[in-house]
Structure 1
Amino acid sequence: MSAPWITAVKTVIVMFLLECLILSVYHLQPLGYFNQGVQINNNTEESCLHVLKMQNYMCTVNITTEKFLMTTSVPKPLTSTEIEEPDTIVLIWMWPFGSSFGLGPCSSASNIHGCRLTDDRGLFNEAHGVMFHHRDISWDLSNMPKLPRPAFQKWIWWNMESPTHSGQNPLLKELFNLTSSYRRDSDIPVPYGWLSDATEVEKNYTIPKKEKLVCWVVSNYSPNHKRSQYFNELVKHINVDAHGRHFGSSINHNEYLNLVSSCKFYLSFENSVHRDYMTEKLFNPLALGTVPVVLGPTRENYEQFIPSESFIHVDDFPTPKELADHLKLMDQNEDLYRQYFTWREHFVSKGALFGLDHACRICEHIRKNKHYRVVKDLNSWYWG
């Protein structure tokens, strides 16, 4: 049987060997189990060997971290794929105007991942967000959910119509958590269109052949609209190739595309004038190679969306006659006309996929922003 003091020494040496092993792996400062006048420094391997030489023992501390982990029960950290976040579910409670826009994957439509779109109301309690289209909400809210809203769930007020064409309902005042509309100050803004970087092929742009000077296609003509009044004055000074039910000349989609691209100028007149309200009436002509003549919010507001030289604003001219004179001048001067297309060297006009772009952007927002949010006074914000 070993003497007690020999057993004690062996125990201390074993403990120190263990400490050396751990410190050699993690490169930590020794805790100092020994107090024998030996100075332990940051070089763990040298310190271990120095002490053991005093005790007449051999020491090997070249074990790698990988080997150490293999001999212990310490679990390896999970990879990013192993801890993948579950899909964010967005429930479309009501289809806009009763028309489905489909439930295609956001990954292909908008390059947004981790989203699941559904119209299955049975998933109400699981949905992270629920979309409500303003124009389809019953005045008495009778077609809204009857179940209590889960605490984590966001209700999204969604509307692409201007305040002029959106009924104001006092019952909606504090009902929603988020807003999504064409407005830039929405929680999830989705404009009717935007400009994006042009590819190398798109930069080599050729203006389509022009056969007409000024065109206009209107589906909702009202003599009380500002655009109708301006048009009636403009046609006194210049010919406008006008189409639509009011003019007895309805056209289909393909005819519209061919017509707009064949015109030098297109009357991009909005049905009402509101901040940020610039619809496909602006972005379609830009995409089709026609200069839009805009009637809507201020020029300054337009320039927050598109370059100043890409359009003509009716406010640039004191009267419709002076606008007509300018358009005739551009018709006679090809170099001046081409200046309206210099932006095509850098950008292309894109249009939103109505409904699907909204749902995907809403899903992405909810996925990235899980904090609490509430719309305290929808009516004051939108109609105020």
Structure 2
Amino acid sequence: MDKTTISKTTKTITVTIFLMACFTIYMYYDSTKNLFSKFTGAHVQINNISTKNCLSFLKMHNYECTSNITLDKHLIATSKEQEEPDTILLIWMWPFGTSFGLRPCSSAFKIHGCHLTNDRGLFNQAHGVMFHHRDISGDLSNMPQLPRPALQKWVWWNMESPTNTNPIPLLNDLFNLTSSYRWDSDIPVPYGRITERTEEEKKYTIPKKDKLVCWIVSHYSPDLKRSHYYTELVKFINVSTYGRHFNNPVNDKEYSNIVSSCKFYLSFENSIHRDYVTEKLFNALAIGAVPVVIGPPRENYELFIPSKAFIHVDDFPSPKELADHLTLLDQNEELYMQYFTWRERFVSKRTSFGLEHACWICDHIRRNKHYKVVKDLRSWFWG
């Protein structure tokens, strides 16, 4: 017998022995699959190892290998069958009595598995119920009168600052979750955010300017910090003013046109609280004005936006020094343009009031099923 014949015989014997080994492993696996069926991970691992080794060995010797192993039904269930049912979030009361429309969270914010409703008939089926603080009666008479299902989450929702929110003593121990502008909420939803810009948004150009400083305000109180500061600031620089307080109301379109035509916009908050940074800031950034802010400290703002995207009044000893700085920037285009370098990579977007909050709340409830209760809401928010 020549060497070639011996080689072919040896190869045939080797392949035959390996196939018998594969068959033995499979028969052993098949006879014991009831034992391993309780441990899906082990079940899949044995199947994968034996099949993989068989395939790799035969491929090396130019053979073909087919597998006809039947998997347990639970391993080949469709993804639809494996998905849990939609999380139902019930909006118990419309904020300020105004509907915000219940568009699907999937199309609006790419949040899946959520069903928003205002149908109180679904109370017992709802996984969560959302309550707007400003619309809750002091005696809780407009809250659900039915017993709360054991696993249902009640969510306290409020976007106003503590200064503009009246505490209700009966709310302690009533809620499971909080949602507000504050970062330490269970579900924080700020008034806006800085996000990476898209290809389309890269076409942005800074709007033409014909005004130096602008301020639009409707609710004016002489006792507020922003009012005191404005009174001093206008002594040193011209401010174009709009809004009901100045008998010069503007609509949404006029608002955008006015703000975009200003080099600087006074994004002055009506009260000073941690994380209370509202649309006054994010609108100015989005429209194309440099915001001059009154609010929490600069360090707090820098959690939300780039440090060189805004001017904080606290950076200057007095309104006069701020006015001098704004005048300098007006006269030096290169220095002024530095406040727009952040636009090379980012854009400012305002939160969709109501709908976005509901979607993020629903998504949180869907992903977090652990037990929680808000023991002392008053101390946490107003303390």
Whether these two folds match at TM > 0.5 is yes
Secondary structure in 2 matching 1:82: helix
Aligned to 2:73: 75
Q: Distance in 2 between matches of 1:175 and 1:89?
A: 20
Aligned to 2:157: 158
Secondary structure in 1 matching 2:70: helix
Q: 1:234–1:88: structure 2 CA closer, same or farther, 3 Å change rule?
A: same
Q: 1:260–1:26: structure 2 CA closer, same or farther, 3 Å change rule?
A: farther
Matched, 1:245 2:244: yes
Aligned to 2:26: 25
Secondary structure in 2 matching 1:340: helix
Matched, 1:213 2:216: no
Q: Distance in 1 between matches of 2:325 and 2:235?
A: 14
Q: 1:245–1:24: structure 2 CA closer, same or farther, 3 Å change rule?
A: same
Aligned to 1:271: 270
Secondary structure in 2 matching 1:276: coil
Matched, 1:230 2:198: no
Equivalent residues of 1:88, 1:363 under 8 A apart: yes
**Aligned pairs (5 A) from 1:30-69:** 66=68, 68-69=69-70
Q: 1:26–1:342: structure 2 CA closer, same or farther, 3 Å change rule?
A: farther
Equivalent residues of 1:23, 1:29 under 8 A apart: no
**Aligned pairs (5 A) from 1:301-340:** 301-340=300-339
Equivalent residues of 1:23, 1:30 under 8 A apart: no
Aligned to 1:366: 365
Structure 1: segments with no counterpart, 5+ residues? 1-18, 32-43, 45-61
Q: 1:26–1:260: structure 2 CA closer, same or farther, 3 Å change rule?
A: farther
Aligned to 2:292: 293
Query: 1:108 offset after TM fit, Å?
Result: 1.1
Aligned to 2:254: 255
TM-score, reference length from structure 2? 0.83
Query: 1:366 offset after TM fit, Å?
Result: 0.5
Query: 1:112 offset after TM fit, Å?
Result: 0.4
Q: Distance in 1 between matches of 2:181 and 2:31?
A: 63
Q: Distance in 1 between matches of 2:182 and 2:22?
A: 63
Query: 1:213 offset after TM fit, Å?
Result: 0.1
Structure 2: segments with no counterpart, 5+ residues? 1-19, 33-49, 51-63
Query: 1:80 offset after TM fit, Å?
Result: 2.0
Q: Distance in 2 between matches of 1:260 and 1:88?
A: 40
Q: Distance in 2 between matches of 1:96 and 1:69?
A: 55
Q: Deviations 1:219-275 (Å, cap 9, x if unpaired)?
A: 110001110110001001111001112211111111110000000000000000000
Q: 1:26–1:252: structure 2 CA closer, same or farther, 3 Å change rule?
A: farther
Name the % identity.
Answer: 70
**Aligned pairs (5 A) from 1:103-118:** 103-118=102-117
Q: Distance in 2 between matches of 1:164 and 1:96?
A: 18
Q: 1:26–1:273: structure 2 CA closer, same or farther, 3 Å change rule?
A: farther
Q: How many residues align?
A: 333
Aligned to 2:351: 352
* Equivalent residue letter for 1:181: S
The RMSD of aligned alpha carbons is 2.2
* Equivalent residue letter for 1:69: T
Q: 1:64–1:27: structure 2 CA closer, same or farther, 3 Å change rule?
A: farther
Q: Which has the larger radius of gyration?
A: 1
Q: Distance in 2 between matches of 1:283 and 1:208?
A: 16
Q: Using the TM superposition, name which of 200-209 and 215-224 deviates more.
A: 200-209
Q: 1:147–1:286: structure 2 CA closer, same or farther, 3 Å change rule?
A: same
Q: Deviations 1:271-324 (Å, cap 9, x if unpaired)?
A: 000000000000000000100000000000000110010000000000001100
Query: 1:182 offset after TM fit, Å?
Result: 0.3
Aligned to 2:95: 96
Q: Distance in 2 between matches of 1:176 and 1:360?
A: 18
Q: 1:311–1:76: structure 2 CA closer, same or farther, 3 Å change rule?
A: closer
Q: 1:21–1:213: structure 2 CA closer, same or farther, 3 Å change rule?
A: closer
Query: 1:204 offset after TM fit, Å?
Result: 4.2
